[in-house]
Structure 1
Amino acid sequence: MPDKSIAFYIGKNRTESGATLLGGFGHEPSSHWLEIVPRQQHEPGSTITVGATEEADLPGRLTQIPQVPETAKYITSNYSEFAGFPAPLTNGGLNEYQVAARDVWSDSRPELVEMTPPGQTGPNYSDLSRIAMERAHTAREAVQILGDLIDRHGYTTYGGNSHLFADANEGWVFIEFAGGKGLWAAERLGPDDVRVSYPGYIGDFPVDYRNDPDHMGSPNLVDFAVQQGWWNPADGRPFNVQQVYGTPFPGHPGKSTPDDEAPWRHPPTLEEELRRLGEVSLVDMQRMVRDPRWSDDRSGYGQVAELKADLAHPELATLWVANTAAITAPYIPFHIGAETVPPEYGQHRYLTSGAAANYLSPEYAAQEATRSATYVSKRLMYYTCDRPEVFLGDVTKAFEGFEAQMLGEIGGVEQQAAEAYRAGDAPRARALLTDWSNKWAMDGLDLTEYLVADVEARTKEQFGIRKPAVEPPPGVTARAESLDMSLPEGSISARDRVNCDLGNGWADGTTVDRKGQVGDPNAVPDFRAATRADRSFPWLPVTIAAVVGLALGAAAMFFARRRAT
């Protein structure tokens, strides 16, 4: 059952701050890491490699397409594994023009998947996501760029895909279809709209879309459907993109349950939840992305962009990033003006494709030696989600309180940076933003480690470490702890993987049920004191022990000499 990713869009007229909100994550089991990619110039004739290899489920062929002379700065979460699609892969992020992007699964109808030619060529979903970040100045322009690329070079598919782009004024849903026919469609989302892509979808679509400023599509979008007999204009039915080219939503209308094969995967139902939130705050959107109904072991990260039209400087645009599933990782705000992330948040070999088959390059030894923020957060997830009824509430309170502390400070550092920008001192502004985010990122890692130690100690004291309830096959002498740890064959990953869902979100309900709750800074444990104590060398006890040792040694020598004389 597909469940690859999710995205939430809230138009600016529906938010507390008047900013557009875009949040979500990618659903991939491989490693993820944060990167700030600088603006770059490229020599004439530069190209980029796009597409997929023959190892993809729908085999492809890598080709080169031209790179533009200059690419924009952007913040993104990379990951390392999708069969046949070369890493690093990305689902989007935020660029220096305050264009935010999410990439979301959107299955094409089976006939289109069957039509996809072997050796397909053209940009894949990740190529399109990265190119949008590199080139787009607005959400509308992102759609125009991607549509033009598909029209010129084709599209390499895994079975259908979508993107959700947003800027301070509007959003756009873009869907690229399987089949090798260059089919794509795009729909504008305005300031009063909400949208949940889970999967990405577009409904009723004007046949004369070329003359409609709120819609775009490939030249053959309608004609191909008519040729295939999938839509007949004489029937009087609207041209519904989802019905014509997509598949039915895997979830069902109304309230899902954890027993469903595709729990919660019905976008219109989730869109009604967003409307019930009333004026949506940044904290509401962070909580929606963190909601335990979908933030789980396959959630590669969490991202929330608050896209403001009245920024004091463009480099104050901000992306809040959880380094892995936000259910057990804190959001850290990174401004476009920031220049680096701590190596602890960069690439590590934990869950990285191919790591188990190769030795580490010495060039990456120091980077790999740092703590992996992803690994630490995953440890917290596995302990917390093993007994969420015991631990999830405390973990959530700690992270929401921690984020409230950052929200209390972020305005001050942005004001300092804005003053530096106005004074013409951009390097100082960028240093302020970099240092501030990196400091909080390291504090977030220390807090997560503190919570891991706490939950681990409580688990061992109250319950012990639960043994896997797995029987070794007949004749196998290895214990259950040494067998394959993957989800068993026949499992439904959308339902059966590690998760903290207590039936309808948290113990006190969904994001809607928790509307109005705010993080309490006082709920954050004193992890800083614990960290200092753990990392400080015990000079006083060691000094005392050394003095005592020397005194005892001297006394022993004295008596030894007396006995000798």
Structure 2
Amino acid sequence: MRRIAFPLAAAALLAAPAVEASYGLYVGRNLTADGEVYIGGTGDEVSSHYLRIVPHQTHPEDATITVGVTEDASMYGGTDKPGKLTEIPQVPETYAYISMTYTNWEGFPPPLTNGGLNEKGVAARDIWSPSRSELIEMTEAPQTGPQYSDLARIVMQRAESAREAVEITGELIDKHGYSTYGGNSHLFADHREGWVFINFAGSQGLWVAKRLGPDEVRMSYPGYIGEIPKNFEESEDVLASDNLISFAEEQGWYDPEGTDTFNVHEVYGAQDAPMRRPTVEEIEGKLRDLAPGMTFREFLNVVRDPAMSKDTNGYGQAARLSGDVDHDALRTLWVAPTGSVTAPFIPWRIGVTSVPPEFRKHRYLTKGSDSTFVTEEAARQEGTEFAGRVFKRLMYFTCTNADTYLPEVTEALTAFEDARLAETDEVEETARTLLENEKSKLARQVLTDYSHTRAAAALDLGRDLLGSIEARTKLLDDIPVIEAEPMGKLDYEMVTCR
């Protein structure tokens, strides 16, 4: 059985809701075969995950949105830092976006999101990034202000570029504060560039963002920023809160004498953890080896790498961001319904108007579902098969004998995705023709029918693979009786195909 034990260094993190989890990948446009920016990754949460396509909307002048965390919020290491939900103004118009949504993170009210892709071609990933312990200790209670999911959602609703995503996020923290589980980061990208944005615990409004250019690759795991100029205000490549350096000086964490640089991780990051973990070195090395001339097919393979894709994954996600998209409805996010090591990436376009019931919210891993019954309204939805559960079962059977089963699963998933990649020009040309002839409703129906059909085919593939591998497992291997609680705590070994 392929399993990986959490290292002792992670045990303190596991005492809180957060773990060493979510990752994001970025590849600059000069390194790809088609000259497009690639961004991908996953969100790692023990929760139900489901697909949402949120339409373009208008809002009343006095509209507000609820942000923040509740009284149940806590930090890395288990320190209680309760919060209070507040209202902040909504903008008059919000953009359409696609995202995977999930249902639980302690003290963070659902629905939650780590980002996705919006109609303006801005993509976002949310990634853990622990702050130093002193910042966690000085975090005020109750916490107020938007938290990571609020910020990711607002960026999807409002940003027209990656740089604007940074500016929006920074302005929200400057104005309303920030609620956190101990520090976090975002990876924003558009067709020109990427940005790593880190927001710190401590209730001091500390944040910093650094640009990723066209010749860079990045794996955020966690989100990291190293050295920036001490006079970052003069740089086009760095944005930060006004107090980023002055607060560090006041605390005695940074001496500006004799240096022109400021190392963000060394000053504000977790002091007992390296900035770049071995997995970061490994995956960034694979990305560099594929560049220049990396194809999107090759990028999907890296996002699927078993070093990252495992039981913690709620989904897999990837996008290629182009400046040549002539209709926003054609912008595409590729989404795997659970960890992509054993689930196919399915293309979903902004113009799609609905999600098949199998890919919507279900009770599986939804908080509170173990003590409630299904309402009459939800009965037919709940009666459908849940794609996330199908592919999670496939992961469990595959990873128990990865040497035998993973090659055939990978081959099948790759073939499915290659067929979808080959269909791209045809389906988009059909929709484009309709859009240019003012048949927007029909174009969106074509895109919706295509996605529903391909999602059904993906689910059929998952069932076939699952049935075959489950049958062989029962014939050839032992399935032990689990007498004790089968869910791991601090010392559990995570299921992985690596």
Give the TM-score of the pair, scaled to structure 2: 0.93
2:59 aligned with 1:42: yes
- The CA deviation string for residues 356-409 of structure 1, in whole angstroms up to 9 with x for no partner, is 122222221111111100010011011111111111111111110111111111
Report the count of equivalent residues: 474
Hey, what does 2:96 align to over in structure 1? 73
| 1:124-273 correspondence to structure 2 within 5 Å | 124-236=147-259, 238-247=261-270, 250=273, 264-265=278-279, 267-273=280-286
Hey, what does 2:497 align to over in structure 1? 500
Following TM superposition, by how much is the alpha carbon of 1:195 offset from its aligned partner in structure 2, in angstroms? 1.1
Larger radius of gyration: 1
Following TM superposition, by how much is the alpha carbon of 1:211 offset from its aligned partner in structure 2, in angstroms? 2.6
SS in structure 2 of the partner of residue 294 of structure 1: coil
CA contact (8 A) 2:46 2:312 kept: yes
Following TM superposition, by how much is the alpha carbon of 1:252 offset from its aligned partner in structure 2, in angstroms? 8.9
Q: Of the two structures, which has the highest relative contact order with CA contacts closer than 8 Å and spacing of 6 or more?
A: 2
SS in structure 1 of the partner of residue 495 of structure 2: coil
Hey, what does 2:467 align to over in structure 1? 453
* Aligned-partner residue type, residue 152 of structure 1: K
CA distance in structure 2 between the partners assigned to 1:175 and 1:31 by the alignment: 26
2:143 aligned with 1:123: no
2:28 aligned with 1:11: yes
CA contact (8 A) 2:265 2:275 kept: no
Hey, what does 1:490 align to over in structure 2? 491
Hey, what does 1:386 align to over in structure 2? 400
Following TM superposition, by how much is the alpha carbon of 1:272 offset from its aligned partner in structure 2, in angstroms? 2.7
| 1:85-484 correspondence to structure 2 within 5 Å | 85-236=108-259, 238-247=261-270, 250=273, 264-265=278-279, 267-278=280-291, 279-463=293-477, 465-468=478-481, 481-484=482-485
CA contact (8 A) 2:224 2:275 kept: no
CA distance in structure 2 between the partners assigned to 1:368 and 1:276 by the alignment: 45
CA distance in structure 1 between the partners assigned to 2:418 and 2:405 by the alignment: 20
- The CA deviation string for residues 50-105 of structure 1, in whole angstroms up to 9 with x for no partner, is 11011111211111111111111000000111100000100000000000000000
CA distance in structure 1 between the partners assigned to 2:290 and 2:271 by the alignment: 27
CA distance in structure 2 between the partners assigned to 1:74 and 1:406 by the alignment: 21
User: Which moved further from structure 2: 310-319 or 75-84?
Assistant: 310-319
Following TM superposition, by how much is the alpha carbon of 1:488 offset from its aligned partner in structure 2, in angstroms? 4.7
Following TM superposition, by how much is the alpha carbon of 1:312 offset from its aligned partner in structure 2, in angstroms? 3.2
* Aligned-partner residue type, residue 48 of structure 2: S
Structure 1: unaligned runs, 5 residues or longer: 254-261, 469-480, 502-565
Structure 2: unaligned runs, 5 residues or longer: 1-9, 11-18, 75-80
SS in structure 1 of the partner of residue 485 of structure 2: coil
User: Which moved further from structure 2: 273-282 or 374-383?
Assistant: 273-282
SS in structure 1 of the partner of residue 254 of structure 2: coil
Following TM superposition, by how much is the alpha carbon of 1:490 offset from its aligned partner in structure 2, in angstroms? 2.5
SS in structure 1 of the partner of residue 458 of structure 2: helix
SS in structure 2 of the partner of residue 451 of structure 1: helix
Hey, what does 2:7 align to over in structure 1? none
SS in structure 2 of the partner of residue 76 of structure 1: strand
- The CA deviation string for residues 9-59 of structure 1, in whole angstroms up to 9 with x for no partner, is 001110011110000001112110001001111112111111101111121
* Aligned-partner residue type, residue 316 of structure 1: L
CA contact (8 A) 1:29 1:297 kept: no
Change (3 A) 1:394 1:269: closer
Runs of 4+ off more than 6 Å: none
Following TM superposition, by how much is the alpha carbon of 1:209 offset from its aligned partner in structure 2, in angstroms? 2.0
CA contact (8 A) 1:332 1:440 kept: yes
Give the TM-score of the pair, scaled to structure 1: 0.82
CA contact (8 A) 2:57 2:94 kept: yes
Change (3 A) 1:250 1:277: farther
Following TM superposition, by how much is the alpha carbon of 1:461 offset from its aligned partner in structure 2, in angstroms? 1.8
- The CA deviation string for residues 532-553 of structure 1, in whole angstroms up to 9 with x for no partner, is xxxxxxxxxxxxxxxxxxxxxx
* Aligned-partner residue type, residue 479 of structure 2: R
* Aligned-partner residue type, residue 385 of structure 1: C
